[in-house]
Amino acid sequence: MQHANRLVIELTGVVKRYGRDTTEPPHRAHALEPHTNGPTGAPLRARALDGVDLQVRAGEIFGFLGPNGAGKTTTIRLLLDLLRPTLGKVRVFGQDPRSAGPALRRRIGYLPGDVRVGTRQSAHELLTHLGQLRGGVSDARIRSLAERLGLDLRAPIRRLSKGNRQKVGLIQAFMHDPELLVLDEPTSGLDPLLQREFLAMVREASDRGRTVFMSSHVLSEVEQVADRTGIIRDGHLVAVESVDELRTRAVRRVEVVFGHDLPDGAFSEVSGLEGAEVHGRTLRGRLTGPADSFVKAAARHEVVSFLAADPDLEELFFTYYAERGGRHAA
Amino acid sequence: MLRSVWTKTLWEGRNGIVLWSVALAGVSLMYALFYPSINQESFAQAMESFPEALMLAFGWDDLTSAAGYLGSTVFGLLAPILMIVFAIGLGTRAIAGDEEAGTLDLLLAHPVSRARVVLERALALAVSLTVATLAVFGAIVAARGVAELDALSVGAIAAASLHLLLLALTFGTLALALGAIGGSRSLALSGAAIVAVLGYFGNTIARQVDATRWLATLSPFRYYEGGAPLRNGLQVGDATVLLVASALFVAVAVVALGRRDVGA
């Protein structure tokens, strides 16, 4: 990786406001801060991004995490010049998406958050057309990706299910092997097997030196591939962390059933375990950070079952807010 | 068919183009074949009993000549209405419809400029309308021999057809421009339809009164039929006005779409 330190994506002080437009799609509308009135009494325009600074380096897999409506899609659409920033600077490969235009987009593969292609044509027809717009993508390439994801290319797109449309979206994003993949909620609608296939495709792209920027509201899927993650909420980038750091912060609900009743206060002194409650033979609590001391404490007893849930993103955000003295507390 | 945006647009719209062309050809043929039954002494006498203002308003002042008949039926009312409806539909879909459906997003994320998308969609609009116009032209030329319409030259029919094409193109590009400005289907559709209705009645009513005659110069219909192309052949000045207006609307669309957020 000779360009390891080159920045592929660079956002500096990016603010994005949408007009007070009633035609605003609801998925974005609920994302916005409540309307507040300015000094003149006129409602201020809703703010989707409020001063975001972000850097993604070449060859990196960057996970962009946040609840629905936090500003993930807005950020992604800024990279493709579908939206323009109200304030601040957006750079992709060091270029302004607006002035660099088509030449810059040639180097990007984009998966929209909602793949919509409402035509009678077949998936093969659409993918061939989109390939032509990129200067031609070989038919073999399209077919091998379709085979890999299990997509019937002859089916008319209009009749495809959400999952199959997502496959069409993924194929068109990957088919020209772009230097940068910008993927908005890539796994939504895919079954677990295909999610795994997708993550493999991301890893392969990364191995070829490609940069991947993917958004998600599910921590576990980002955790599996990403090198670093940015966490966004209400238009603020709350934190940028390596996945390892994130993992140590993640809060997991745990539930352990033991073979016998537990003595009072058996787990009260275990580090990382909060809110431990014992009901007969069952222990419930929230585990943060390394699980080591908890597992060793549990191992002293007979364990019948052990459950650690997927880390909850909302709880993760909460730990960041608590740390910051509730500056953005919702 | 899949190499560029405009051929793809045409390919996707092929069913509509065929249907509208068949409908336009059918209507034109029907009216043209009806002419022999009107081209009779008794009909001319009956027409004399109608009030003159009404005759003028509907352009029925010369219903029994071949040019007068086709000018007030096919070219006076039905073909322009159908062509304008077809054109506004296509113009609305070109940008605003595509944007509201969420499909413009994916296209613009590809290495095509917004200007190119507008220009290619306008080209597809022009080609679609040309096909539909050729259907009208072909139907009337075909009926000419059998329906006692040979007083009309093929050149005159071609001139009237060209004016028809340019009229439809004006409203189609207007809808396209409104869609590029607002990104709203309903705005583009209703905006262009309102201009069409006002333009039509503005032209027919305003020209009957000296004081308001200048108002008719604002109406696209004035440049469509004001010079009576079916009688007088191609009106170069009028045709140029419609062509320039269309080009202007396309230019507005390019600038408007280039400046704003897409799908926001």
Model pLDDT for residues B180-227, shown as the tens digit of each residue = 999 999 999 999 999 999 999 888 887 777 777 777 888 999 999 888
Residue B66: per-residue pLDDT: 84
Q: Tens digits of per-residue pLDDT, A75-96?
A: 999 999 999 999 999 999 999 9
Say if A273 falls within a structural domain. Answer: yes
Say if A257 falls within a structural domain. Answer: yes
Q: What's the rounded Cα separation, in Å, for the pair B237 and B242? A: 9
Q: Which residues pair with A93 in a beta bridge?
A: none
Task: Give the residue from A92, A129, A181 with the most B CB atoms within 10 Å of its CB, the best one to mutate.
Answer: A129
Say if A224 falls within a structural domain. Answer: no
Of A5-19, A29-43, B250-264, which gets the smallest average pLDDT?
A29-43
User: Which of B12, B101, B110 is facing A133, going by the closest CB pair?
Assistant: B110
Residue B104: per-residue pLDDT: 92
Of all residues in chain B, the one with the smallest CA distance to A169 is B106
Q: Which helix (H) or strand (E) holds B35?
A: helix B14-38
Domain boundaries, chain B: 5-259
Chain A positions touching chain B (beta carbons under 8 Å): 18-19, 21, 23-25, 28, 77, 80-84, 101-103, 105-106, 108, 110, 112, 114-121, 125, 128-130, 132-135, 169, 172
How distant is the Cα of A272 from the closest Cα of chain B, in angstroms? Answer: 44
A128 with B2: Cβ contact below 8 A: yes
User: Which of A105, A116, A118 is facing B111, going by the closest CB pair?
Assistant: A105
Say if A264 falls within a structural domain. Answer: yes
Q: Tens digits of per-residue pLDDT, A223-232?
A: 889 999 999 9
Say if A4 falls within a structural domain. Answer: no
Q: Tens digits of per-residue pLDDT, B126-145?
A: 999 999 999 999 999 999 88
A82 with B108: Cβ contact below 8 A: yes
Mean pLDDT of chain A: 84
The CATH number assigned to the domain holding A289 equals 3.30.70
Residue B57: per-residue pLDDT: 62
For residues A275 and B251, the model is more confident at B251
Q: DSSP for A269-306, please give it.
A: T-TTEEEEEEETTEEEEEEES--HHHHHHHTTS-EEEE
A132 with B3: Cβ contact below 8 A: yes
Does residue A27 carry a pLDDT above 60? no
Residue-number span of the structural domain to which A279 is assigned: 251-310
User: Mean pLDDT, to the nearest integer, of B47-68?
Assistant: 70
How distant is the Cα of B227 from the closest Cα of chain A, in angstroms? Answer: 42
User: Which of B4, B109, B184 is facing A82, going by the closest CB pair?
Assistant: B109
Kindly state the greatest CA–CA separation across chain B.
66
Domain count, chain A: 1
pLDDT category at B58 given cuts 50, 70, 90 is low
Q: Tens digits of per-residue pLDDT, A282-320?
A: 999 888 877 888 888 888 889 999 998 877 766 777 777
Residue B192: per-residue pLDDT: 97
User: Which of B108, B111, B113 is facing A134, going by the closest CB pair?
Assistant: B111
| Order of strands, sheet of A282-288, starting from the edge strand that comes earlier in the sequence | A273-279, A282-288, A251-258, A303-308
